[in-house]
Structure 1
Amino acid sequence: MVGVTATWPQAGGLLPVTRVPGGELAEVAARADFAVLPVGAVEWHGPHLPLGTDLILAEGFAAESGRSPGGPRGVLFPAVPYAACPGQTRPWPGTVAIRPEIAVGYLADVIEGIVAAGFGRLLIVNGHDANMSTVRAAMEWVSGRRQASLLLVNWFQLVTPTETGEIYGELPSRGHGGAYETSGVLGFDPDAVRLDAVTDLPPKPKLPVAHPYVLVESRPDPWQGWSGHISLASVPAGDRVRQVAGARLREIVAAWVAAPPPAPPTADPLPEPGATPGAEVPS
């Protein structure tokens, strides 16, 4: 009988954990360089995009993480489909939102379960902006309980605003359901997009300041659960987004896998004030 690792691509690649027999899990975990968990959402993105937009993007870029010839070997876990969703999209049809406190606890259990199965390095590929806070909180919790290296990458941030400006021009493109996100879906599943279902809905302008900020509003105007210049989206733009973001994700993963692993977490007390780090404390 041939073991499941015999089907693992010789030069990197991803092996679905759902096809790993329980008796071979320890061997797979020992041979893997990392595990990968896509996290998305089921959320309204407008009449032109599927409700699984964030899942298509998270799963698509998770697959891209293993497309490096001669690169590291990964084990792909099933995507987390449901998430906390902002108040701006919760009233729209098809959005399935869970409470943030539930999301954090659920994600903490999923992440810890993967680490406990023997995968000390876990890449989490995110397709839904609201997950950044809940996943980060869960990662911090698990890292204090298990020896683990947990890496969170949001595909949306892998292409810079300057670069999207070069692709789409001066009009804003990076909003929820906008040209950038629409193009991303076109790069993976063009049949899922209906470009003729909407006309452009110019988003509310950003504040006229250069400083970083986070602005949460109940319902910005104009807003229909999405906004953006959809006329700027195209398959070639989506192919470009997939190419650039995928290459950068693989670059991050390669550097991460090559880095030394962390030490185990500890509950040891802090040294006494003025003590020399590493020195023995007299008994």
Structure 2
Amino acid sequence: MDGMSTWPATGALLPATRVPGGELAAVAEAADFAVLPVGAVEWHGPHLPLGTDLILAEGFAGESAATAGPRGVLFPAVPYAACPGQTRPWPGTVAIRPEIAVGYLADVIEGIVAAGFPRLLIVNGHDANMSTVRAAMEWVSGRRQASLLLVNWFQLVTPAETTEIYGSLPARGHGGAYETSGVLGFDPEAVRLDAVTDLPPKPKLPVTHPYVLVESRPDPWQGWSGHISLASEDAGRRVRELAGGRLREIVEAWVAAPLPAPPSDDPLPGDTAPIRGAS
């Protein structure tokens, strides 16, 4: 490969949109994986941009490639997503129906795999994408030989670590100090810390068991909640460092593992029992 299709020496990802069609096969052959950021266009409060989830997805997608590490090809981000009822009424949120999101993502994922990239890393910046992306991945894996890896940046830093960074006050809410710091880690000019005052989130249920609670309009709620005063560029750099390092660890372990066998409609191995009703 030469020209635009040479991987940057710094370990950065090679943009798929800059690969000439005649070089695609060689690029796919040389690549260790492809990367697809998925985000949303969604209200996160007066202090954060509508593209918060895209900034985070694209930013952490860029962190997946380390110098002298596995070589990745970056595909354009998926910008629109299914959004929860909590944010749909707020200005700037552009939501698509979940069934549309699943079908669209399935076509995008299959298209990347069909282009010669059996390993696809999907970096998520919007929590509601986890279910739609997972459903699309499952569908594609039954049609193509593929290893599809979904990583949500938000989960790469533990609650214990965010407590260490921000103190005992809740920081992990929608548009809260943790997410705000994440944006500050990549694009500090996009954040307006002076646009809001702290809006403490609704307390969690007094149980330790895992659960998923979906509510239309929690109280208090202004399309975001959290102690924004805890956010800072220093915290953002720490979040980027922690999450980026863990993402690279995941990618390196994943690329080192063997690819799966192609999907098959054949009977299971050793299944020689006759089909009932057959003559």
Letter of the 1:228 partner, please give it.
G
Structure 1 position 229 matched with structure 2 position 209: no
1:81-137 CA-partner distances (Å, limit 9, x unpaired): 000000000000000000000000000000000000000100000000000000000
5 Å-filtered alignment, 1:30-109, equals 30-66=29-65, 68-109=66-107
Mapping for residues 106-121 of structure 1, pairs under 5 Å: 106-121=104-119
- Following the alignment from structure 1 to structure 2, what is the Cα–Cα distance between the partners of residues 84 and 123? 20
Find the aligned partners of 2:101 and 2:186 in 1 and give their Cα distance: 27
The alignment partner of 1:13 has SS state of coil
Q: Specify the code of the residue in structure 1 equivalent to 2:49.
A: P
**What amino acid does structure 1 have at the position aligned with 2:197?**
T
CA displacement at 1:154 relative to structure 2: 0.2
CA RMSD of aligned residues (A): 1.4
**Structure 2 partner of 1:258:** 256
The separation in 2 between residues aligned to 1:253 and 1:76, in whole angstroms, is 14
Moved segments of 4+, more than 2 Å: 1-5, 9-13, 269-275
Give secondary structure in 1 for the equivalent of 2:73.
strand
Who is 2:25 aligned against? 26
1:127-166 aligned at under 5 Å gives the runs 127-166=125-164
Does the residue aligned with 2:13 lie in a helix, a strand or coil? strand
How many residues get paired? Answer: 273
Other-structure match for 1:191: 189
Q: Deviations over 1:203-258 (max 9, x none)?
A: 00000001000000011000000000000000000000000000000000000000
Calculate the TM-score normalised by the size of structure 2: 0.95
Given the alignment of the two structures, is residue 16 of structure 1 paired with residue 15 of structure 2, yes or no?
Answer: yes
- Tell me, in whole angstroms, the C-alpha distance in 2 between the residues paired with 1:108 and 1:175: 29
In structure 1, distance between residues paired with 2:36 and 2:148: 11
Matches of 1:13 and 1:227, distance apart in 2: 34
**What SS does structure 1 have at the residue aligned with 2:14?**
strand
Give a deviation string over 1:170-200, Cα, whole Å, max 9, x none. Answer: 0000000000000000000001000000000
Match of 2:212 in 1: 214
User: Cα distance, 1:69 vs. partner?
Assistant: 1.6
Q: Does the Cα contact within 8 Å between 1:13 and 1:71 map onto a contact in 2?
A: no
Q: List alignment gaps of at least 5 residues for structure 1.
A: 276-283
- Equivalent-residue separation in structure 1 for 2:228 and 2:211 (angstroms): 26
Name 2:276's counterpart in structure 1: none
In structure 2, do the counterparts of structure 1 residues 230 and 208 end up closer, same or farther at CA, with 3 Å as the change threshold?
Answer: same
For residues 18 and 52 of structure 2, what CA distance do their matches in structure 1 show?
25
